[in-house]
A and B are shown apart, each in its own frame.
Chain A
Amino acid sequence: MDLLLVILVDGLIYGAWLFIVSVGLTLVFGVLGILNLAHGSLYAIGAYSTATAVGIYFAYGGDAFPLGSYAVMALAAIIVAVVIAPLLERGLLRHFYHRDEVIGVLVTYGVFLILEDAIKLIWGVDPLFVYEPYDLLGMVEAGPLFYVAYDFLVIAVSAITGFAVWYFLNRTRRGKVMLAVIHDREMSQTMGVNVDKVFLLAFGAGVFLAAFGGALTAPMISVSPGIGVNVIIVAFAVIIIGGLGSIEGAALGAVMVGISRAASVHLMPELELFIIYFVMAVVLIFRPEGIFVRTQTRKI
């Protein structure tokens, strides 16, 4: 029974993290139709920016108010989004909206290659550590085990993020316009929607979510080159399981993958490395386009 609880808690923590790092990817795909392979690099940039920003914060008297470091983390992610999103979307991606999905993947693969080296050029190859925000909240007792309270903060933030994205899309005017663009780009344009602006907004949100995922993760890991490479495929698996472009799907996919991974870590550790792909393959066998599928018309 205890083991079950442990698996559940570990699974939720990992699932919450997965949701944060993959929700931006699914949003960008939903609106722009581009599967952004550079998402992992944006995540890494978010993590690095946070490491730098929080480091500066504590170097200049942040100790007096350590909780402020959380605001610094969010701020770092916002800055990354504001700087990078217009550059990438206006400068590059908009040339490819009418092209095949696979071209989009390849273009962002190129961006990924460029950003990976850019990260090394800016921050060097030595790992960075920002442990302060991680230790700030102390420990929590959950059943037989103690957990770092920060892990639960991740769950809370993830839930809030998911709700915020859902609320934005379904309950606000701008969000509904975005849904209209997802549903039918040309029709929205004829109705007077500024599709370019919607695209930029959606991509900006996607970049912010990726960077925010990195910001949230930075205190938990050593921030070093290559952290983005692994994230991207995991995030892909999650949104493919859920159905591309679906926010609810990403949430469900994240929880499924999170719990399966936790179960494999505790029960069959040798499976841990590929349990994610296994879950994805099984889901795709029964639901070839993921769990939440948008219906598509076929050209005859």
Chain B
Amino acid sequence: MKAFSDIRVASLLALALLVAGGFALPEWALFLMTIGLAKALVSLGIVVQMRAGLVSFGQGLFFCIGAYVAGLMANFAGLTDIFVLTGIAVIACLAVGGLFGPLLANYRGIFFAMLSLSLSMILYGVLSKMNSLGGTDGLNVAAPTFAGYAPEGRALSLSLYLYTSFIVVAIGAVLRTGFDSQHGLVSLAVRSNELRVEYLGASVRRTNAINYVISAMLGGIGGVITGLAIGHVDPEYAYWTTSGEFVFVAILAGYLSIPAVFVASIILELVRSFSNLYFPNTWQMVLGVFLLVIILTLPNGLGSLFHRKREGGS
């Protein structure tokens, strides 16, 4: 029971910090935080799979589905309520993830990475060609409403940020519990030796499939929020470079700690927007150098800094 109350305390503390930050931060920082946290959810999906030793290079698929749910519902059904949109995105990603998850559960390592990547590139191709959905230009997304409340300006940024904070903390708490559950521990065992897991009677395929579906839903939620925050969606959401950034954040954070994923994602957004500002022509280069330095100096990710205890046997 102690662990359970630990999570509750940590979650409440994190939420209090985030909410307090929301009222203190300037609007550009709110936007940056919202995007950073939302994208962190997608990377968190990769971390869920990483715990079982798989790295998906195609999370852009679900990120894009989530974002397009927001865009399409706003443009064609007049739906702007963020709770409803998030729900639809989760259901859509659950359906797609449930379809591909069992299939992808047969693949490992680089093949899993590349097959998941090819799925997201297929979506990219389809969206680019569908002129009814805006083609490569994409769609504008209307500002979200919050159960009838339709804020504008700073109030909108703040509402979106608070909504994201709540979701992020809730998901973080659920996942932490999940990581320590039987399924979560089996995932870690799969990572270190899947043959042993099979001999002990657990199903590696099932574990991988479930992880994939969880990561799909996380990707969808991240996509919905990002789409609403930016106010525009286009097929680039499913492009491989987008997925690459998610993997980068996941590796940067490591699979040991959940808060590390959010920190890593926000760091990436900070590096991106500041290098964009100060080195407009070489920001990719800055990002690349940053990435290499991190991989060289922190082989186990940021999480290893504040999570000294080693999990599992690997």
Contacts and interface: CB of A to CB of B under 8 A. Distances in A.
Interface stretch (B85-93, B111-119, B174-182): B111-119
Interface stretch (B69-77, B124-132, B148-156): B124-132
A106 B50 CA distance: 14
A142 interface: no
A113 B195 contact: no
Interface string A282-298: 00110011100000001
Given A106-B247, A110-B291, A277 B122 contact: yes
Nearest to A277: B118
Contact of A35 (B106, B110, B244, B287): B110
Given A233-B240, A240-B114, A285-B103, A114 B284 contact: yes
Interface stretch (A1-9, A97-105, A184-192, A247-255): A97-105
Interface in B258-312: 281-285, 287-289, 291-292, 295-296, 299
Contacts of B114: 236-237, 240, 280
A117 B282 contact: yes
Nearest to A289: B111
A110 B295 contact: yes
A137 to B, nearest CB: 34
A274 B295 contact: no
Interface residues of B, number: 43
B206 interface: no
A121 B110 contact: no
B122 to A, nearest CB: 5
Contact of A112 (B117, B247, B288): B288
A118 B289 CA distance: 12
A278 B129 CA distance: 15
Contact of A102 (B107, B113, B289, B299): B113
> What band does the interface of chain A fall in when counting residues whose beta carbon is under 8 Å from B?
35 or more
Given A95-B296, A240-B114, A288 B122 contact: no
A274 B284 CA distance: 27
A99 B285 CA distance: 24
Given A106-B248, A299-B193, A101 B109 contact: yes
Contacts of A236: 114, 117
Nearest to A275: B125
Contacts of B55: 102
A209 to B, nearest CB: 20
Contacts of A290: 111
Contacts of B193: 299-300
A117 B295 contact: no
Q: Which of A244, A273, A298 has the most CB of B within 10 A?
A: A273
A266 interface: no
Contacts of B244: 37, 106, 109
B110 A281 contact: no
B188 to A, nearest CB: 16
Nearest to A107: B295
Contact of A244 (B110, B119, B240): B110
A111 B288 contact: yes
A240 B281 contact: no
B37 interface: no
Contacts of B288: 109-114, 117
Given A35-B110, A278-B122, A114 B295 contact: no
A142 to B, nearest CB: 29
B290 to A, nearest CB: 8
A229 B284 CA distance: 13
A92 interface: yes
A298 B287 CA distance: 37
B291 A106 contact: yes
Interface string B217-231: 000000000000000
A273 B129 contact: yes
Interface string B50-92: 0000010100000000000000000000000000000000000
Given A274-B124, A285-B103, A290-B111, 9 more contacts: A105-B110, A105-B247, A109-B291, A114-B288, A117-B284, A236-B117, A237-B114, A280-B115, A281-B115
Closest 8 CB pairs of A and B: A274-B125, A113-B288, A273-B125, A114-B288, A117-B285, A110-B291, A277-B118, A110-B288
17 contacts: A96-B295, A102-B110, A109-B244, A110-B287, A111-B288, A114-B285, A114-B289, A114-B292, A116-B285, A117-B282, A120-B281, A233-B240, A274-B122, A281-B115, A288-B106, A289-B111, A299-B195
